[in-house]
A and B are shown apart, each in its own frame.
Chain A
């Protein structure tokens, strides 16, 4: 067994060193890279997720687009939303999880059948 569950939607295939979608097994990209680089990405219309309950006001239930945008990351095969981010417009996407793959392989060497 070389596939490890890392998050709700992400596995790592240790022998191949690749991120995989946990729902459809789609291989994404190198586990040493940001998995988001292998995702389909979109910026949502904020009103479709956080609709304003007061029309025409500077303050409502909808974030201010000058401050905040919503980006979603999908599995390119099954369309599951693997993650989303609330970011200021133009702010770089976060490389939120960067595992030490060599340490991970060492830890799981026995169960993965890999060389120590």
Chain B
């Protein structure tokens, strides 16, 4: 027995910033020529990009094939120096499992770290987000010396647990959640261990995908290993070791310099989440962003308490990871995404809070908790940057999830368990100078793709009734949010399927507007059991709904047992022919809707990207519905009248607040919130 410690290591997860420079790294710094360093940096990035592409090409799970991939080169101490990804949380979370390996396994005689080894991990305590994010890494040795690690972290859509699809909505503790594996050795001498692969397969509803994804990660890391060793042969081991360290150091310096350009101040954004998992309730993340000189501090004190019997918790490292989605993608968009950025960021998490989970509590819907937080980062970041970097000031992209989860048998009788990919087609938030891009991606996975419907239909037991832009999915404003997708999924050609849904915002919308722009409406799932949709489709019925608007305009000939439910829902049986309707949200609006250029609204009307209702009631334009001609003068008059109406009907602040603060949500809504309005952090059981 060497350095292994049983149970979770609370020390190693605190080491998110780069480790102190080693003697070898420090010695190399002075010998690295600037031009040679630039060439090296580019070469490493290309190796990373190739690794990311290879992983995607070889993977099997939905998220892996469509880009939910992070591929990186780590220092010998485990810091992530080079990361190729559109999933930026991995840029600061990916190194924790590596630091665990360095700390516990390198000198552990029963394990060790040798040339040809490979390591697997998916415990979110170390990987940070949720257990569907699984990683594999390999050490790179040269002449017996450990040079670096290479790793791939990818979302595999099934992780065991009491519900399929990587999300256990009804989890009461971590023991309901399936595989939670700290870093373990899964391969030696360039071979994976078949006994361990069989163990993973036995713990998982979709063993084929699970094993293919592991092999895809390994294949990509082995290619990258060869590429890195070519560089080592050419430039020398000292150069590579020093160069990787230099990337981290320069990133931290550049981040501090960039932050120093922003105005000093305090920026606040309370965030509210309306689901606890299988039931509804309100919890709060109280975000305060303090910018002082060249440092940003995230203070999350006064957030709601930890939930002892619900999966609505997150480890603090997952919150930091999702903070970096904002920082890497927006504020530091021109800097390398690696954990050197954290040299410019500090944080304060309260003990006992649901955003600083401890012990055995469930964290299955942690990604939802984390993106609820990230929305606060977007809001605070937009206010922080407008004065000095206005082009970086954007309204939020869709900040909820709306993800169908499923498990069962596909049309070939094979086991499947996964999610469908519409979350990768949400709308961008608006900018000061343009509308948000429609169906752009996911803010946390900007390079991921939502795939063709035919691709999903090819090996999943679904037919899409339709999937297209939904004009009720985004926030209105001077600049509108990009539209998300409305879609219908028909259960097709299967004898056994369970379907559920992962997301938030059915009662309290997840995505708020900016500078007077509006947020999104609430989300829900419409189900039609015993639907005649397939029968009508077989008859080529032309009146079947072709968009989400049509579903709700009363003209659909579809019949069946209709129900409307929360977007956060535990799986239940879905029979052949049952239909689900939902939407992936759009982006938030920016600015007062009364300032939107009327011609832009006419353009949106012509392409069905805005409803007639919104054109008239939100944007207050006047136009002829027959000729579609704008009445400029009448529009100006209507908008002026609206402004006067606002002034006449609104109250001075003090008078408003006096009445407003007499209210409170019902106690049932607050049963997990803590003290209202400013929660304490004592862990609660309802």
Contact = CB atoms under 8 A, between A and B. Distances in A.
A37 B651 CA distance: 11
Nearest to B640: A79
B646 A90 contact: no
A18 B556 CA distance: 56
A39 interface: yes
Given A57-B564, A97-B265, 16 more contacts: A4-B387, A8-B590, A9-B592, A40-B650, A41-B650, A54-B526, A58-B564, A66-B665, A66-B669, A72-B650, A76-B647, A87-B270, A88-B282, A90-B676, A91-B676, A99-B264
Interface of A: 4-9, 36-43, 48-51, 53-54, 57-64, 66-68, 71-74, 76, 78-100, 103-104, 107
B650 A67 contact: no
Interface string B253-283: 0000000000111111110101000000010
B522 interface: yes
Given A64-B522, A86-B509, A48 B515 contact: no
Contacts of A89: 663-665
B264 A59 contact: no
Contact of B643 (A7, A59, A79, A88): A79
Given A4-B387, A59-B564, A67-B282, A96 B663 contact: no
Interface string B613-638: 10001100000000000000000000
12 contacts: A6-B263, A9-B516, A38-B653, A40-B653, A43-B656, A50-B509, A59-B565, A63-B509, A82-B515, A88-B676, A89-B663, A90-B661
B484 interface: no
Nearest to A78: B643
Interface in B647-686: 647, 649-654, 656-657, 660-666, 669, 676-677
B174 interface: no
B383 interface: yes
Contacts of A59: 506, 522, 524-525, 564-566
A41 B508 contact: no
Interface of B: 263-270, 272, 274, 282, 292, 379-380, 383, 386-387, 432, 472, 478, 506-509, 512-519, 521-522, 524-526, 552, 564-566, 590-595, 613, 617-618, 642-644, 646-647, 649-654, 656-657, 660-666, 669, 676-677
B564 A67 contact: no
Nearest to B589: A84
B472 A8 contact: no
Contacts of A103: 263-265
Contacts of A4: 387
A6 B386 contact: yes
A81 B647 contact: no
B618 A49 contact: yes
A104 B263 contact: yes
Nearest to B387: A6
A95 B661 CA distance: 15
B383 A63 contact: no
A62 B656 CA distance: 23
Contacts of B513: 84
Given A59-B524, A63-B521, A7 B383 contact: yes
Contacts of A76: 647
B509 A100 contact: no
A103 to B, nearest CB: 4
Most buried by A among B269, B591, B594, B646: B646
Contacts of B642: 79
A111 to B, nearest CB: 13
B265 A98 contact: yes
Contacts of A57: 564
Contacts of A99: 263-265
A88 B673 CA distance: 12
A63 B510 CA distance: 10
A4 B565 CA distance: 48
Contact of B507 (A63, A72, A82, A92): A63
In the A-B complex, the 3 residue pairs with the closest CB atoms = A79-B643, A90-B663, A40-B650
Nearest to B593: A81
A1 B590 CA distance: 27
Nearest to A104: B263
A40 B652 contact: yes
B195 to A, nearest CB: 47
Given A79-B647, A89-B665, A90-B662, A37 B508 contact: no
Contact of B515 (A8, A90, A92): A8
Contact of A96 (B268, B274, B594): B268
B522 A61 contact: yes
Contacts of A87: 270, 272
Contact of B677 (A8, A9, A91, A97): A91
